[in-house]
Amino acid sequence: MQLLEDRILKDGKILSGNVLKVDSFINHQMDVAFISELCKEFYRLYKESNVTKIITIEASGIGIACLAAQQFNVPMVFAKKSKTSNISNDFYCCEVESYTHNTTNKVIISKEFINPDDRVLLIDDFLANGKALLGLKTLVEMAGATVVGAGIVIEKGFQPGGELLRKNGLRVESLAIIKSMSVEDGISFI
């Protein structure tokens, strides 16, 4: 999506360790009007999929998922990172490794918020190794519901997540896919 690629080139910052900082408009400060435009594109891509629910994972996915839910006119649910080791029987739970923080979190969704007849669109800001998205997919499938696909703002095409998930049969639509990036040569898109 040209609008997004232009903005990444203008305001994104490349740090060492394959980190792309977009925290001036996506995941610390949020340019809400801009992200609404991105969400219109998610709607265009998935409007035939009879989406009944948007699901994301805290924290940086929440704002984007909210604005996407507005486009689809459906509720949004965010999976929570649980601090406790004892998860009650009221929750679906799985473990997710975080690439950014190099930690493993228990991620939970209350059973009452996913129904077997839900058709879920997963939303997240980044797709890198795909662990967060895979975790969300697992939670939805534990409920017997259907994942219609994923809507990602920025996919790191040089990391394995996108290929892994698509090979698994998941429809993944990323608004920008980064082919390569480095402090020296900047960013190129697929």
Applying CB under 8 A, which residues contact its own copies?
23-24, 28-33, 35-36, 58-59, 62-63, 65-67, 69-70, 73, 75-78, 80, 83, 101, 103, 109-110, 112-113
**Closest distance to its own copies from the beta carbon of 107 (Å):** 12
Task: Pick between residue 123 and residue 152 the one whose CB is nearest to its own copies.
Answer: 123
Task: Pick between residue 109 and residue 170 the one whose CB is nearest to its own copies.
Answer: 109
**Closest distance to its own copies from the beta carbon of 128 (Å):** 18
Backbone φ and ψ of 33, nearest 5°: -65, -40
**Closest distance to its own copies from the beta carbon of 131 (Å):** 18
